[in-house]
Amino acid sequence: MTKQHPHTQTNPMKVNGYEIGPGAKLQGAELRDANLQGANLRGANLIGADLKGADLKGADLKGADLRCARLYGANLQGADLEGAKLKGADLRCADLRRARLYGANLISADLKGADLTGTNLKGADLEGADLEGTILEGLKL
């Protein structure tokens, strides 16, 4: 019997009192240090959400709106952020190794000190993004 990660189930679940699931309305949500590993947040509204230090390893954030979200030090290893809106997001020191950012909007995002090793950035818009000290090894452009 295969054990499924609790956040990958189709039924929404609650974390810090917020319903987590596809298309969730989490604008301004306080999810600091939350365990959202493998969460299905496809198309979710996370505008201005506080996800500082959150564990989003392997999460499905495809098409999610993360404009101005605070993701400082968040673990986004292997997360699917295809087409995500990250304009003005704080991704300082975030772990984005092997994340999928295909076609993502990273305009004016702060990526200082982030680890983008092996990340897929094909079609991503990085106009005005701060990449100071960012690890850019093995990028797929």
| Predicted pLDDT of residue 7 | 47
Q: Are 85 and 103 within 8 A, CB to CB? A: no
| Predicted pLDDT of residue 121 | 94
| Predicted pLDDT of residue 10 | 54
This prediction's pTM:
0.90
**Torsion angles phi and psi, residue 8, rounded to 5:** -90, 0
**In which domain, by residue range, is 40 found?**
31-74
Q: Evaluate whether residue 44 is within a structural domain.
A: yes
Rounded mean pLDDT for each run of 10 residues along the chain, 141 residues in total: 44 86 97 97 98 98 98 98 98 98 98 97 96 93 80
Q: 3-8 long-range CB contacts below 8 Å, 24 or more apart?
A: 5/37, 5/38, 5/58, 7/36, 7/37, 7/38, 7/39, 7/40, 7/59, 8/38, 8/39, 8/40, 8/60
Q: What Cα–Cα distance (Å) separates residue 123 from each residue in 75, 101, 112? A: 22, 8, 20
Count of structural domains within the chain: 1
Strands in the chain per DSSP E: 13-15, 18-20
Alpha-carbon span 68 to 79, nearest angstrom: 18
Q: Evaluate whether residue 53 is within a structural domain.
A: yes
Q: Evaluate whether residue 42 is within a structural domain.
A: yes
Q: Evaluate whether residue 43 is within a structural domain.
A: yes
Alpha-carbon span 62 to 44, nearest angstrom: 9
| Predicted pLDDT of residue 4 | 44
Q: Evaluate whether residue 1 is within a structural domain.
A: no
| Predicted pLDDT of residue 13 | 84
Q: Are 13 and 31 within 8 A, CB to CB? A: no
